[in-house]
Chains A and B, each alone.
Chain A
Amino acid sequence: MMNGDLRRERAAATFQPELLTHILDGGAERTRRRKEIEALVINDPDFQHEDLNFLSRSQRYEQAIRKSSLMVMKLREHGIADPDEIYWFKRTCLGPFPEPFGLHFSMFQKTLETQTTDAQKEKWLPLVRGVNIIGTYAQTEMGHGTHLRGLETTATYDPATQEFILNSPTVTSIKWWPGGLGKTSNHAIVLAQLYTQGQCKGLHAFIVPIRQLGTHEPLPGITVGDIGPKFGYDEMDNGYLKMDNFRIPRENMLMKYAQVEPDGTYVKPLNDKLTYGTMVFIRSIIVGDSARSLSRACTIAIRYSAVRHQSELKAGEPEPQILDYQTQQYKLFPLLATAYAFHFVGAYIKDTYRRISGDIIEGDLSELPELHALTAGLKAFTSWTANAGIEECRMACGGHGYSRCSGLPDIYVTFTPSCTYEGENTVMMLQTARFLVKSYTQVSSGQRVTGMVSYLNDLSRQRIQPQHVAARPVTVRINDPISLVEAYKARAARLVEAAAKNLQAELNHRKSKEDAWNRTSVDLVRASEAHCHYVIVKLFTAKLSEISNAAVRAVMTELCLLYALYGISKNTGDFLQAGILTDTQVNQVNQRVKELLAIIRPNAVALVDSFDFHDVHLGSVLGRYDGNVYENMFEWAKKSPLNKTEVHESFHKHLKPMQAKL
């Protein structure tokens, strides 16, 4: 039976949630197919298991391996091969948790597909696809992460035996973090500094067997293990790998681009920008992950806030739903709007990547630099925002949010490393900034730039006037998303210009470029953030016109306005300082934000229902679709490991002797 509060919320919605679900899925047919695939898992008793929160780390790892193995077999059984469909299937098997085979299918297989010669493909790909070997991708070292050139592992070519000798020369060079490395994999792609004929040729990738097939024991010369407990990722055996004079045949270097000939002659790759493509792809996935993780957190927090009653708004009346408090709405609804915004941005990047990846294969890389710069920044912007947003959702659930039964701790600890992996966020922001400054410099020297940075072209026109670029009056209409896009554009232009000018000023004072860059980096990050923020508001706004159903469009327009206005109210300093908004307008923005909270309130539950997460995806007692929170919290707690016996053994071991002695 559905909780009465949630039933009333759903009945009061002004639009049909399924229609919005179709938009998020990319069409009604895709929604249908997704649900069909999810049902395959949900209705399969083999996938049932105890709540992972009650298990020890070793047990969680074991469960994950069980499910991953099962998943491999079942995917084949059901004949599911489309990447999206595989993703839907996996996500339903695993909930929000990572899988120990994750890197096998993503990085290991993908790298072998893209960086090997035909002969290598023929040898390895059947083994990989058939899971005859399990592989991982060993790049990060204890002492080096985002800065790849600093990696210390060496691969020295020995022409006498036609082998590479792999070594981890220092403690800091031990491979550290790769998922699936600790216990699961028997092969790894290892990134190492290649030495041949006495010269270092930089980083290259090698296939390295690490465990004996059949016994799974580490091979001689290999030290491998698990890096220990982490904040989350209990299911994943992130590992370490140390190699001592470990030899692999010459053919184990991935040689599609660079090659080492039998005599040790090094043949340079034609173009090293191609690896960009993979990075763009993976970062675009993180943008989508940010949207999904934040959506899950919003679903839990908003449903719970509709069920939880507390305190009084009006003396003598029953306790209201906490969702009726303005402060609660202010915590949650902007995040809801953000989740939608990020969905659309994620879809945009995925489409753009798909569109230009054909060009990339044919060698046309003209669009890649901008997309690369944009995804770096958006990866950082969305993961930072989602990271903070998930925590905000958890806090909004009070004490119960702190319990593992809320599911929010798991969402948070699983998501938060995405601020670090695939490029540390601050470093990502600075990459975007580099592109922005470059574009600004081009414009300053009279060239035109295209794409998302084309607003910088306007600078040259204004330079005639002795003002800041943004000091030109932007007439902002706060109820018009298109006008708000202009306001964000002006802010981005102002901050890019300010950062570029500060950089120039530092350059004029100091000798080194790097020093100047470092001393401007806080400004540069701000500029990147403003640029990304603009792009998101722009993409969200653009999406509105594509929505055909009037009721859905209306509610999405409200969310889009809330997203844009809330962003302004949180960054009023930028808008005021640049003269984009006046004090009065800032007041109006703050007022309008509060009005929008009240307008969105009746649709809040329907808006999270539209994300269409099954309870299995949420893993949350607080976020259950039926809203029966308290009964199920009690049921859940009864299963806690501490409750296994009515009297805990500590009583006999410690309490009783203490009381006897005293």
Chain B
Amino acid sequence: MALLDSSKHLQDSVLSGVNPDLASERLTASFSVEKLTARLDGGAEHTRMRRAIVEAIESDPAFSRENQYFQSQNERYEAAVRRAVHLQKKMREMGWTENGPEIKYIYRWLSGDIAFLLHRVFMRSISVLGSDKQVAKWIPLATEHQIIGSYAQTELGHGTYLQGLETTAVFDIATQEFLLNTPKISAMKWWPGDMGRSATHTVVFAQLYVHGKCYGVHPFIVQIRSLQDHSPRPGVTVGDIGPKMNFEHTDNGYLMLQNVRVPRENMLSRFCEVQPDGTYVRWGSKKINYFTMTTVRISILSDEVILPLMKACTIAIRYSAVRRQSKLKPGEQEAKILDYQTQQQKLLPQLAAAYAFHFINIYLHELFDRGYQEIQGRNFDSLPELHAFSSGFKAMVTQYCTSGVEICLRACGGHGYSLLSGLPSLYTRVLASCIYEGENTVLFLQTARFLIKCFMAASAGQPIPPSVTYLSSAKPGKCPAKDKLDFLSPDVYLKAYEQMAIRLLSSNAAKLQHLIQSGAKKHEAWNQCTVQLVKAAQAHCHYITVKIFVETVEKLDNKAGIQKVMKHLCDLFALHGIFSNAGDFLYDGYLSGAQMDLVTASYLDLLAVIRMDAVPLVDAFDFTDKSLNSALGSYDGQVYHRLYEWAQKSPTNQQVSPAYGKYLKPLLQNRLSKL
């Protein structure tokens, strides 16, 4: 068998050709990798387009990320600006446009390592929140990069809780201007990207005051730097907030405003306006603002959250097929670490989750496209449901992917800890998503609030949104499974998930009611239940994810082995969830202890089955080596050569460290002379 070739021999072969340990994995694929890739892309023509774009970018040395891991914060920032400027040129050359189908593939490949991302948010916020006149004035300037924008919402003292923002904008009738101020240190804008060094303008969110009355938070366009020499405008203190866990290339900034005046026309006024005499008028629904926030949460999932998990799985699984350690059988060659059950248990559930989230993401986008159409038609009925969906799934997917990437990192042992593995950067990047666009615990509680409402409505026989109709089907019962194979039936595990989600929600509803009846104030009762409410929201999202995975698998083509392998992954995702949360399923006796043993047995069997397809399943994600930028995860599996080659490029090996001459030599010689 090719599998048993000596790895020692292979690893010393020249750095060309695929490591036979990886090649052999690909020979035994049970399905067509190319067909699965096309399915993930949404059709073979999309795959072709994506590859053409990736090829165009990767062949352009200006986009190279080769030395990224060796660069300082300053160098990373400069490279990101350079790349952003070059991208403008490239797009003109290639005939790509901001609204074209190529754009998502371009940004996906860049994976955020580029400046002016907040410039795009700046433009989007003007398009959505600005009047037609404002759009006509600012968008061309921004499109031509005559101005560079940012989006200044978060403050030092306030993040997720927007009403608490402290920056003020006071209307001055005499001059027809708003007077913007940072009244105290905690009100300083803090974190906005592109603002620390690059931006000339920013959208500042501030509490609007007219005639001494506060009208709440509103957006204002504020010029912060000179268009001539880039120096800060009078009254503006602006700078970079310093090093972070990642995003070294982004100049996240601080901004302090002291009596900075902007004309009345700079308040974004699609939905409300301060008229020259100071009259405040509002038109349209406030809810549309929520919808924007809601869509942003969903829009980050694919590129910022699920993609890093897919990349991490690709790196860790390929490395695990190349790394050999210890012996499974005496006298045999050392085993691939992917053959260890404990390694499979770490990695394969993450792989299954990556697929599960890919499908739930498609589902959410469809849901939101439908929702958007309804809202365009002034029908806001689905908003609460969409809001609850976006909150809960943003929280669940970011949390799961973050822990998934970390598991992949640690599953690569010592080498995973090297930046050259690519895994630390993927991890520190994805984990930021747990906080931005709404802190996850807060988001889960928003979903919980919606679910509790729906549950109450269902109990009272009122109609509830389609995604939660299962809440009215609550019937106590027992799981019918008798054999471990029964747990490979989606009906069986879906029912278990459904029961568990309903039970967690109903017990919370009962608890809340009980607390209120025994005299607790509503908000106190809520705070006392929040730990369990978070759990209920998680259970709901988990259930829906399993359900959508099952439905997707049912619809898949059964040719080319794809449906079969996806069914395995779906089963694994579901059973891993039960295995990891056994208590919740055992609690009311829906599953018995004996059945839980069957779940475990079935789950462990699946690991061995999926292991056979593990490498082809990550190959199907179709990442190029350059986009992975990992010494461990390359397609050819030449891990050790690459690690050695890359390490030699480290600046620590290129430059003579002054440390020896300055400190070591005196220390060593000082002692020698005393001998």
Please report A residues at the B interface, Cβ cutoff 8 Å: 53-54, 56-58, 61-62, 65-66, 68-69, 72-73, 130-134, 140, 142-147, 150, 152, 170-172, 174, 176-177, 182-184, 186, 213, 216, 225-232, 237, 240, 308-315, 319, 325-328, 330-331, 391, 395, 398-399, 401-405, 409, 413, 416-417, 419-421, 424, 426, 430, 512, 514-515, 518-523, 525, 571-579, 583, 586, 590, 594, 630-631, 633-634, 636-643, 646-651, 653-659, 662
A56: nearest residue on chain B (CB-CB)? B72
Q: How large is the interface on B (under 10, 10 to 19, 20 to 34, 35 or more residues)?
A: 35 or more
In contact, B436 and A399 (Cβ under 8 angstroms):
yes
15 further interface pairs, Cβ-Cβ under 8 Å (given A171-B640, A654-B81): A176-B414, A228-B418, A237-B652, A312-B161, A327-B534, A391-B431, A404-B245, A409-B244, A518-B339, A525-B342, A572-B586, A633-B190, A646-B232, A659-B145, A659-B146
Asked whether B531 lies within 8 Å of A649 as measured between CB atoms, the reply is no
Q: Are B160 and A586 in contact (CB under 8 A)?
A: no
Complex Cα–Cα for A647 and B200 (A):
12
Question: Are B644 and A171 in contact, with the CB atoms below 8 A?
Answer: yes
Whole-angstrom distance between the Cβ of B545 and the nearest chain A Cβ? 20
Taking CB atoms, residues of chain B closer than 8 Å to A417 are 414, 417
Q: Is B211 an interface residue (CB 8 A)?
A: no
B136 at the interface (CB under 8 A from A): no
Do residues B242 and A637 form an inter-chain contact, with CB atoms below 8 A?
Answer: yes
A622 to B502, CA, bound (A): 40
Q: Identify B420's interface contact among A174, A229, A391, CB under 8 A.
A: A229
Is B660 an interface residue when CB atoms closer than 8 A count as contact? yes
Cα A405 to Cα B346 with chains together (Å): 32
Known contacts A58-B651, A313-B523, A636-B242; A170 and B78 CB within 8 A of each other: no
Interface residues of B in 49-108 (CB under 8 A from A): 69-70, 72-74, 77-78, 81-82, 85, 88
Given A171-B640, A327-B534, A404-B243, check contact A150 B326 (CB 8 Å): yes
Quick check: B593 and A640 within 8 Å, CB to CB? Answer: no
Residue pair A170, B647 in contact (C-beta under 8 Å): no
Tell which of B231, B328, B419 touches A646, judged by Cβ atoms closer than 8 Å. B231
Q: Is the CB of B596 within 8 A of A655?
A: no
Contacts of A647 in B (CB 8 A): 229-231
Given the complex, which residues of A lie within 8 Å of B391, measured CB to CB? Answer: none
B144: Cβ under 8 A from any A Cβ: yes
- Check A62 against B658 for contact (C-beta < 8 Å): yes
- Indicate whether A58 sits within 8 Å of B584 (C-beta atoms), given known contacts A319-B164, A399-B191: no
Assembly CA distance A657 to B88 (angstroms): 13
Contact of A213 among B11, B197, B532, B668 (CB under 8 A): B668
List, in ascending order, chain A residues with CB within 8 A of B230's CB.
647, 651, 655-656
A327 in contact with B11 given A226-B647, A654-B78 (CB within 8 Å): no
Q: Please name all residues of chain B whose beta carbon is closer than 8 Å to the beta carbon of A631 when the two chains form the complex.
A: 185
Report 15 cross-chain contacts, Cβ distance below 8 Å, ordered by A residue.
Answer: A53-B242, A68-B663, A143-B11, A225-B650, A227-B647, A231-B417, A310-B161, A426-B346, A519-B604, A525-B342, A572-B582, A573-B583, A576-B583, A642-B197, A655-B230
A306 to chain B, nearest CB (A): 14
The secondary-structure label for the interface of chain B is: helix
Separation of A567 and B300 alpha carbons in the complex (Å): 34
The residues of A that contact B235 with a CB separation of less than 8 Å are: none
Identify the closest chain A residue to B607 (Cβ). A522
Which of B158, B440, B588 touches A310 (beta carbons < 8 Å)?
B158
Bound CA span A424–B414, Å: 9
Residues of B within 8 A of A (CB): 8, 11-12, 69-70, 72-74, 77-78, 81-82, 85, 88, 144-146, 148, 154, 156-161, 164, 185-186, 188, 190-191, 196-198, 229-232, 239-245, 251, 254, 323-330, 334, 339-343, 345-346, 406, 410, 413-414, 416-420, 424, 428, 431-432, 434-436, 439-442, 445, 521, 523-524, 527-528, 530-532, 534, 581-589, 593, 596, 600, 604, 640-641, 643-644, 646-653, 655, 657-660, 662-668, 671-672, 674-675
Residues on A with C-beta less than 8 A from B157 are 308-309, 630
**How far, in whole Å, are A230 and B600 apart by their CA atoms in the complex?**
37
Query: Is there contact, CB below 8 Å, between B650 and A144?
Result: no
Expressed in whole angstroms, the minimum distance between the Cβ of A410 and any Cβ of chain B is 10
**Pair B528/A594 contact, Cβ less than 8 Å:** yes
B664–A402 touching, CB < 8 Å: no
Quick one: given A54-B243, A142-B644, A171-B640, are A518 and B146 in contact (CB under 8 Å)?
no
B655 to chain A, nearest CB (A): 7
Q: Is the CB of B334 within 8 A of A150?
A: yes
| A-B CB proximity, top 4 nearest | A573-B582, A572-B583, A642-B240, A640-B242
Verify B325–A147 contact, CB threshold 8 A: yes
Beyond A420-B410, A420-B413, whether A66 also contacts B587 by CB under 8 A is: no
CB pair A630 B144 closer than 8 Å: no
Query: Which of A65, A309, A642 has a CB less than 8 Å from the CB of B659?
Result: A65
Q: How far is the CB of A554 from chain B (nearest CB, A)?
A: 24
Contacts of A586 in B (CB 8 A): 583, 587
A66 and B326 contact, CB distance less than 8 A: no
Cα-based distance from A590 to B436 in the complex (angstroms) = 30
Is there contact, CB below 8 Å, between B69 and A228? yes
How far apart sit A573 and B595, CA to CA, in the bound complex (Å)? 12
Which residue of the partner chain B has the closest CB to A427?
Answer: B326
* A630-B185, A662-B144 given; A637·B254 CB < 8 A: yes
A61 touches B78 (CB 8 A): no
Q: A66, B663: Cβ atoms under 8 Å?
A: yes
* Chain B: CB-nearest residue to A621: B242
Q: Is the CB of A650 within 8 A of B667?
A: no
